[in-house]
Structure 1
Amino acid sequence: MTLALLKSYFLEEILPTWAKSGFDDSCGQFVEHLELDGSPQRSGGVRTRTVARQIYVHAHAAHLGVAPSGSLAMAERAFANLHRVAWVGGKRSGYARAFDRRTKTVTDPVRDLYDNACVLLALSWLLTATGKDLYRHQIDQMVIAIDRTLKDAFGGWAEDSDGTLPRRQNPHMHYLEATLALCENNRTSTHMRAESKAFALLRSHFLVGPKGPLHEFFGPRWELAEQYGSDRLEPGHMCEWVWLTKRHDTLAHTDHTAICLDLLSTALTIGRTNDSLFLVDAVSASRPVSPSRRLWPQVEMLKAFLALHERLGLGIYLAQAADVASAMLATYMADAPDGCWHDCLDLANKPTAGTIPASSLYHLWTMVADLVESDRQMAPIRSEAKAC
């Protein structure tokens, strides 16, 4: 029941709020965040990854039939603006990392794997929702651009067009997410090869040892070293990999359940403190880490519980997901402006965020989308049961 309440709150309050306050109609583009009172961002600077993720949210929600009126048109308009302002052509093409939506000028021209992966995810769902060849063509161009601009000799892709260090698992994880969406909705042999290559990095680079934790930061050859912050661990990303690995297994007809169980177990062991249900953002053996708890790791933990429940059919995972949802509603969603949330809590559950980032809208939506899909799959079964 608590999961249903969280889903309803998102669809009835959060998504309509962000469709209105999160979109700057005068510019035809989404904002980076809302202010703490729920009003739109005052400045004009946005990151490509943030607007791309909002394009994705509204396109996916429109495809599922749960989006506010006009959401798909808004998503298409925002992508047209993004492409017009941030696309960098030539031999090292891709989308620039940041721009000002008001002046329509690029503020950070670097082509970053993270940002371009998010654009690819948005394009996948724009194609799925509209069927337009424009988006199919742009997807093909994006895959080529990432392989060419971010080519790396030691596996995976470069962090960005400048070859910035340290190497990071997180952008590669989101490239996997984008290629999964392509394969699930508009599969081609090119998409399948890209997805397989991205998933293979989990065992070849990111996990150290058969049950080793998921590492975040690496040197140029994917080596672990203190100078690159390799001992920093983020339990939220471990949970996110559980969700993605389950999707990969469904696509590829493989079974990595043991890895999923190890990832979730490690995340809960290192991430929960003081008997709290919530995960801290990060832990490190060698340097102090602020004991903050952003919203997104809690959402990813909930998704991991739901993924394992779907995979194994064990009620304990569904119960744990419901417990987290209840705790989120009582803290992150409490006493916040309508359709908003507290994006970060300290260990005493006191809000500490300075804005309400649009990036967390994406995390919340991916959880809600899974619940919407699950409800639809269960609907015929419930109808049949009633008929009997």
Structure 2
Amino acid sequence: MPDISTSPAIASLADIAAEARHWLLNVAAPLWSGTGRLEKGLFVERLTLDGRSDDAPRRLFVQARDVYSFGEIGRLGWQGPWRALCNSTVDYLLAHGKRADGLFIHSFTTDGTAHDTEADLYDQAFMLFCLAHASRALGRPELLDEADALMAALDKGWRHPAGGFAEKEKPRSTRHQNPHMHFFEAFSALYAISGKAAWKARAEEMAQLCRDRFIDSTTGALREYFTEDLAPAPGLEGQIIEPGHCFEWAWLFEGLARWGWADATAISDRLTAFGRTHGISATHDVAINEVTLDGTIHKPTARLWPQTERMKVALARLRRLNTMAEAEEARRAFRGLQLYFDMPVPGTWQDVLNPDGSFVSMPAPGSSLYHITCAMAELLDTVDGSKS
């Protein structure tokens, strides 16, 4: 591992790190911590183009993501009331979002009452992620006990015999890799924070599932959709690749490599290579939404979140490889992300870039704050030398 405190490649990113810190701490955090937040402890779901909250139900996974985001924003130096925000949201989710069976509901109304009480697999992954990070940020070890209890409920009824977890109460026509990616992320965080070997084993289980079932052995690309037995879904659906998810899994495998997992860097390299080769718009230098397994563009629009994943994996690879090429890739990804921040209300963002350079007119989704915060924290920690 290079000495990141003296690396010229990493030092070259100091200017964009300063921009990122200012925007996140001084522009975005004050807006999203206040506008539309309920006194009882729920963050806004989304903000309109003129910076107002609307009446969209408040999904549990967005609340869980925001707890993570404001914990990180506090760690990075924001002087706002991040501890109070995170504590009240976690407490509200535990008191009003947890069902009798130990799983969590999907969403709340705009006044904070239960809206959709079905359990979605994606939400459970993010609740685990939230509990892990909140435990560390807030100094609340009892939240790790809550994570153990949620995991016991999942193990009891949601394991799938073909591997991974079932999407039981919100069934879909195919199985998805995406919830399993976020279980990998949550399990990795829980191991890093608790030190418990069981969480490490669960993270490695998700990594193995990805390696053996989700990644195409020929191209190294990550498929999205599968049959019940985790064969690729039939027809075009089984050929769809999201470059952003290739980058996101690659970043997670970079973390696994630091544990000494033998295949991690090779898998990360292949996922990254496919995403960069086939998933970057030559016109706007942004990561697009979907291609097919042979690299053909399937959905040329570009959401905000793939730009953050492109940036994260470049930074992780920079720390491993210490090359100017990876530093330049991180810079390009950051500049691509900044396109989405050119807004009449600073601190909000666009979400979908069209191929002609225009944006789809829509509210700014609060779910994106997690992606943005994670990428900017990765950048700041890398440049500051606190992440090796």
Counterpart CA distance in 2 for 1:238 and 1:373 is 23
Once the two structures are superposed, the pairs formed by residues 280-299 of structure 1 within 5 Å of their partners are 280-284=288-292, 289-299=298-308
Correspondence for 1:4: 18
Q: Does the 8 A contact of 1:29 with 1:78 survive in 2?
A: yes
Correspondence for 1:270: 278
- TM-score (norm. length: structure 1): 0.89
Correspondence for 1:384: none
Q: What one-letter code is carried by the residue in structure 2 that aligns with 1:173?
A: M
Q: What one-letter code is carried by the residue in structure 2 that aligns with 1:120?
A: L
Once the two structures are superposed, the pairs formed by residues 133-148 of structure 1 within 5 Å of their partners are 133-148=141-156
Correspondence for 2:47: 34
Q: Does the 8 A contact of 1:336 with 1:342 survive in 2?
A: no
Q: Give the C-alpha shift of residue 53 in structure 1.
A: 0.4
Q: What one-letter code is carried by the residue in structure 2 that aligns with 1:36?
A: L
Counterpart CA distance in 2 for 1:290 and 1:374 is 32
What is the aligned counterpart of 1:309 among 309, 318, 321?
318
Instruction: Say which is worse superposed, 48-57 or 185-194, in terms of deviation.
Output: 185-194
Correspondence for 2:78: 67
Correspondence for 1:20: 34
Q: Does the 8 A contact of 1:299 with 1:367 survive in 2?
A: yes
Q: Does the 8 A contact of 2:315 with 2:382 survive in 1?
A: no
Counterpart CA distance in 1 for 2:36 and 2:18 is 24
Correspondence for 2:7: none
- TM-score (norm. length: structure 2): 0.89
Distance 1:353 1:300, change over 3 A: farther
What is the aligned counterpart of 2:368 among 339, 354, 360?
360
SS of the equivalent of 1:156 reads coil
Q: What one-letter code is carried by the residue in structure 2 that aligns with 1:82?
A: L
Q: Give the C-alpha shift of residue 131 in structure 1.
A: 2.6
1:106 and 2:115 correspond: yes
Q: What one-letter code is carried by the residue in structure 1 that aligns with 2:336?
A: A
Instruction: Say which is worse superposed, 231-240 or 44-53, in terms of deviation.
Output: 44-53
What is the aligned counterpart of 2:104 among 91, 95, 112?
95
Q: Does the 8 A contact of 1:149 with 1:161 survive in 2?
A: no
Distance 1:327 1:131, change over 3 A: closer
1:213 and 2:225 correspond: no
The superposition leaves residues 118-151 of structure 1 with CA deviations (integer Å, 9 ceiling, x where unpaired) of 1111110111022324312211111112222311
What is the aligned counterpart of 2:334 among 315, 325, 335?
325
Counterpart CA distance in 2 for 1:218 and 1:102 is 37
Distance 1:181 1:10, change over 3 A: same
Sequence identity percentage? 26
1:49 and 2:61 correspond: yes
Counterpart CA distance in 2 for 1:248 and 1:313 is 18
Q: Give the C-alpha shift of residue 186 in structure 1.
A: 1.5
Q: Does the 8 A contact of 1:59 with 1:122 survive in 2?
A: no
Q: Which runs of 5+ in 2 are unaligned?
A: 1-14
Counterpart CA distance in 2 for 1:207 and 1:285 is 11
Counterpart CA distance in 1 for 2:82 and 2:130 is 13
RMSD of the alignment, in Å?
A: 2.3
Q: What one-letter code is carried by the residue in structure 2 that aligns with 1:182?
A: L
Q: Find runs of 4+ consecutive structure 1 residues off by over 6 angstroms.
A: 285-288
1:178 and 2:178 correspond: no
Distance 1:201 1:19, change over 3 A: same
Correspondence for 2:70: 58
Distance 1:226 1:140, change over 3 A: same
Distance 1:215 1:182, change over 3 A: same
Correspondence for 1:385: none
Q: Give the C-alpha shift of residue 305 in structure 1.
A: 0.9
The superposition leaves residues 341-363 of structure 1 with CA deviations (integer Å, 9 ceiling, x where unpaired) of 11111112211141100111100
